[in-house]
Amino acid sequence: MAERGVGPGLGSTARSLGACEGGAREPIFGNRIFVRGVIEVGNFCRQNCMYCGMRRENGDLRRFRLAREAVRRLLEERLPASVTDLNFQAGEDPVVLREVVLPVIEDLAKESRLGISLCMGTLAFRLYDAAKRAGARGYILKLETGDARHYRLLQRPGTLESRIEAIRYPAETGWRVSFGWIHGLPQQTPAQEAETLDLLCSLPLSGCGVSPLTAISHKFRSRGAANGLGCEAGAGFPPELYEDILRGWKTKRERSRRARFASRRRKLVRNGRSYPGRVLRSLPNRRETSTARSTPWRFFGSPRRTG
């Protein structure tokens, strides 16, 4: 009988994978627990990866950069005591790195024993060096696919070779580099994932993460077709999955939009001002999009011991 939530014939495979995972983890980490806190300091990005909600051509995304003092106040007032590692992440945005992240982590490194890691895309080598001097020790840099042709189709930055070089440099200069890829990309094949695994084994890495692809909007589907990335069943997302996701997203967005407009109308009425219906209908539809990237399992701070 298959285990609950596991397909027929997969129960033994799941148990076998669990045993392998435990055998690999326990000699390194034992019974220690690492808790990572993630601070998304901005979502501007100069790259245009077609699957990513932060891509520069996504006009629906409301962009932001946190102020340096806002990040410091957050760390002073809201940081849980259980956190052992802090990860600062953003799109590929050197501005937020220079103006916000570097000053903050320099202070953190002096005042705490927290492990500090970054996930901010490909940087100039001098910025890797500056971040390391400031106190960061871990860097998360996803490759997403190890196949050069697939890499080009996804509109990833530069070439596969340049991305690999961007991974090698921090690893060779003392960083603990974590690597990762996305499972479920359109036109992805088992052979490509095996090639990505082989590439992973050849790089000097400290960690690895695999993220499942999530449809973010109808634009992904249309752009995928335009770029030759088939999105039919068997080559990415089944069409019915898109419809289910978009139906729920539109319903939620409509409820949120109506609630915002009703709140604005009540506020203006309380202040003795009118709010004509034609103005209500003409208000821009500002949709906030959250794009949380999953992070690898490797942590760099001081662990909490259990048991």
Question: Which whole number is the average pLDDT over 21-40?
Answer: 85
CA atoms within 13 A on the CB side of 156: 25
Euclidean distance between the first and the last CA atom of the chain, given in angstroms as a whole number: 34
Q: Does residue 265 carry a pLDDT above 70?
A: no
Q: Could you tell me which residues come within 8 angstroms of residue 257 by beta carbon, excluding any fewer than 6 positions away?
A: 285
What 3-state DSSP class applies to 176? strand
Q: pLDDT at position 269, please?
A: 60
Q: pLDDT at position 229, please?
A: 41
Q: pLDDT at position 155, please?
A: 78
**Secondary structure of the chain: what % helix, strand, coil (to 5)?**
45, 15, 45
User: What is the C-alpha to C-alpha distance for residues 144 and 185, in angstroms, rounded to an integer?
Assistant: 9
Q: pLDDT at position 221, please?
A: 46
Q: Does residue 297 carry a pLDDT above 60?
A: no
| Range scoring the smallest mean pLDDT among 5-9, 10-14, 69-73, 292-296 | 292-296
Bridge partners for 86 per DSSP? 37, 116
For residues 303 and 211, the model is more confident at 211
CB 50 within 8 A of CB 227: yes
